Amino acid sequence: MGRVWIFQANPALYDIDAAILQLSTIAWRVPQYTSDIHWGDVVLLWRSGTDAGIVGIGRVAAEPGERDMEPDERGFACGAEAAVGSVMRVLLQVAEVPFMPKGVVRDIAVMRDHAIVTAPMGTVFPVGDEQWHELERLLPAPPAAPEERPAAVLPPVFAWPQRLKAVLPMPGGYDGYLDSLRVTCELVEWRAVGRTCGRGTRRWWGARTRALEARFGLIFLRRVGFVIDEAGVYRASEWAQRWLKTQDRDIAIALLHGRTRFVGEMLEAVREPRTVEEVLHVANDRYGAGWTTSAQVNNRRGWLQSARMLSVDDAGRLTLTDAGRSFIDCVPLFRPEAEAGDGQATVPAGQPEAVTPELAEPRRVLPEADRQDRVVRELAESATARGDPDRFERAVRDAFDFLGFNAQWLGGAGHTDVLLTAAMGRGVSYRVAVDAKTSASGSVGDQQIDWVTLLEHKSKHDADYLVVVAPSPRGERLFSRAAQHGVAVISVERLSALCRQHAAAPVGFDAYRHLFATGGELDVQPVAERAEEWLRLVDLAMAIVRAVRRRSQQFGPLTARDLYLILADDPEESSRPVDRGCPVVTRRLPGLAVGVRRSPPSRSGRRLGRGRRGGGRSRPASGPQRTR
């Protein structure tokens, strides 16, 4: 048998009692645990409210997928629920059971601390084996599983609002993501890796990977369906096992595409070759990604390039391969224009009426936005200007000055073009000698670089690092010689991207130092990832404050666990990396915001934001009831 779940319904929005009596199947909304619910699982149907308890039992008859409510069901839905259209649902075979009140469930020892009793916020609640063993003795048998399981060639695609926004990278470089995924899935399958992640798991995520980082990686793989969590132990999912057995790359990428945004859509965007920066514009302009760095584009590039679905041409542009073209021809893609044109609004399940005005989205003020535009524009124009190299050198100086460096324009014979000084604190600093190369043709090759002179400039100015800035540097010989001499080569396009990124999410000199320390083509991905991590935490903090503002006046102070459940149950907020950021942010909130308090120590299972001893009593069991 598969897993057991409790699905909760709010009788004010859906007449669950009448529906069970008159219907044999119900298409139930599943905003949480969507990747973990499968055909054949047993479901206990719970009615919320003052007369809460188990009113029915069911069996999952089809894998979760984006679908509308069954026609026969519409008469049982009311209010906001009746307006909900096509979202992620699971088809249940249902049957009535003698009513089991909440008090009876609470009196079962192993159910006393279950979330449906202590914090009934949400729609989907997992039930452990021991808990089901006790409940099963008090309930009729669930409906029998269908004789034949529906065959599925590829994993189903989730509704766009329910897909994750962030994709995490895998070790191994752009060509090695799937190899690392294979090793990770085999490792968790054979060694029964726990949530804390032992050394055997961490080593596949990099020699210096901490346990916490490896755990975040496994949490991501669980959320996209490659691994499952069985009582605190990770296992390869059924789809992952099928991929391991067949080595069909379409299965792995379809799993990622179906659960995260802009994967197959990114492949479609590169039917015509595009640079990473151009793909970033497509993601933001057409799909509303809101990314200020290229990190998420590059993360997706790694998954797709390792699957041989996209490649990089000689001009450094991403381009669709035959395998990628075949893939997007057989999976559904999100069409923003179609979504905007159907006029149908999706209402979160059981969303209570706001008791206070919605907290306005704070306007992010970009530091010196007009200056950023001037710097980027001047870099692009001066890089290919004829007969005026000084103009480009000054533009490069201004760009690094915008990034926070003490940038001096030296120029002239015997000097580097620009000298950077990064003062990191008392007695701690580093210097960078920068050589600026213009080209009227719009591209710079190895023959235009005087490597010996660059090394002389490094010695003369007592610089720690050497950097060459040029428009579209190209050629294997250029980058190999740069790596040989320890010179970092950065294109005008990437320097401009760093300026735009800095305006939205500044990073420290230490992040740039790591870029300069490696010779060859400058890889800005580590800086982009650091900036994006900061932005994710800011976004998550804003979401938490919105939740506190919206809910605390109605239900009183909220614990970190309450906030986690609220965010996880919101289709928009649940696309954020809540697993990763919520403990970090909520740990700091009690002293910063009214309405948040420490979570009491948990006697069973994990809790987000563990409270100190004596941190206060638990919230009353009554709370906001979420619906199906």
Question: Which architecture characterizes domain 372-523 according to CATH?
Answer: 3-Layer(aba) Sandwich (3.40)
- 292 vs 446: CA distance, rounded Å: 32
- 43 vs 628: CA distance, rounded Å: 13
DSSP state of 145: P
For residues 63-80, average pLDDT: 85
Q: Above 50 in pLDDT, residue 155?
A: yes
Query: What six digits make up the tokens of 128?
Result: 């452990």
Looking up tokens 């010989």 gives 477
Residue 313 CB neighbours (<10 A): 9
Question: Which pLDDT value is given to residue 149?
Answer: 62
Domain 4-136: CATH class, spelled out: alpha beta
Question: Which pLDDT value is given to residue 362?
Answer: 42
Q: Above 80 in pLDDT, residue 534?
A: no
For residues 517-537, average pLDDT: 80
For residues 259-267, average pLDDT: 95
Q: What percent of the chain has pLDDT over 70?
A: 79
- 277 vs 294: CA distance, rounded Å: 7
> Is 544 within 8 Å of 567 (Cβ atoms)?
yes
**CB-side exposure of 98: number of CA atoms within 13 Å?**
8
- 487 vs 494: CA distance, rounded Å: 16
Question: Which pLDDT value is given to residue 545?
Answer: 82
For residues 215-224, average pLDDT: 80
Question: Which pLDDT value is given to residue 197?
Answer: 52
Instruction: Supply φ then ψ for residue 544, to 5 degrees.
Output: -65, -45
Residue-wise pLDDT for 226-244, tens only, equals 988 776 678 888 899 989 9
Residues 6+ apart with CB under 8 A from 628: 7, 8, 9, 10, 14, 16, 28, 29, 81, 123, 349, 350
Alpha helices in 556-604 (DSSP H): 560-569, 578-586
Query: What six digits make up the tokens of 457?
Result: 């400039």
Residue 234 CB neighbours (<10 A): 27
Q: Above 90 in pLDDT, residue 101?
A: yes
User: Would you kindly state where each structural domain of the chain is located, as residue ranges?
Assistant: 4-136, 160-328, 372-523, 527-628
Question: Which pLDDT value is given to residue 413?
Answer: 79
- 44 vs 49: CA distance, rounded Å: 16
For residues 385-409, average pLDDT: 92
> In one letter, which amino acid is 465?
Y
> In one letter, which amino acid is 624?
P
Burial class (CB in 10 A: 0-12, 13-18, 19+), 390: middle
Query: What six digits make up the tokens of 571?
Result: 């289709």
DSSP state of 41: -
Q: Which residue has the higher pLDDT, 87 or 467?
A: 467
> In one letter, which amino acid is 229?
D
Question: Which pLDDT value is given to residue 35?
Answer: 77
For residues 307-333, average pLDDT: 92
Exposure class string for 483-497: b at 16+ Cβ within 10 A, else e? eebbbbbbbbbbbbb
CA 330 to chain centre: 24
Q: Above 70 in pLDDT, residue 255?
A: yes
For residues 442-469, average pLDDT: 92
Short-list 444, 449, 450, 453, CA closest to 475: 444
What SS3 state is found at 525? helix
Residues 6+ apart with CB under 8 A from 427: none
- 4-136 and 372-523: identical CATH topology: no
For residues 485-500, average pLDDT: 90
Secondary structure element (H or E) that encloses residue 298, with its range: helix 295-306
Q: Which residue has the higher pLDDT, 122 or 460?
A: 460
> Is 596 within 8 Å of 611 (Cβ atoms)?
no
Question: Which pLDDT value is given to residue 470?
Answer: 94
Question: Which pLDDT value is given to residue 219?
Answer: 79
> Is 431 within 8 Å of 463 (Cβ atoms)?
yes
For residues 463-472, average pLDDT: 94
Q: What is the DSSP secondary-structure string of 220-263? A: HHHHTTSEEEETTEEEE-HHHHHHHHH--HHHHHHHHHHHBSSS
Question: Which pLDDT value is given to residue 609?
Answer: 38
For residues 301-325, average pLDDT: 93
Q: Which residue has the higher pLDDT, 341 or 546?
A: 546
Query: What six digits make up the tokens of 394?
Result: 């000054």
> Is 398 within 8 Å of 390 (Cβ atoms)?
no
3-state helix, strand, coil in the chain (%, to 5): 40, 15, 40
Question: Which pLDDT value is given to residue 96?
Answer: 94
Query: What six digits make up the tokens of 43?
Result: 């479901």
Question: Which pLDDT value is given to residue 284?
Answer: 92
Question: Which pLDDT value is given to residue 216?
Answer: 66
For residues 315-323, average pLDDT: 92
Residues 6+ apart with CB under 8 A from 411: 390, 393, 417
Residue-wise pLDDT for 357-386, tens only, equals 333 344 444 445 578 888 988 999 999 988
Q: Which residue has the higher pLDDT, 36 or 400?
A: 400
**CB-side exposure of 600: number of CA atoms within 13 Å?**
12
> In one letter, which amino acid is 219?
I
**CB-side exposure of 282: number of CA atoms within 13 Å?**
20
Strand ranges for 471-573 from DSSP E? 487-491, 520-521
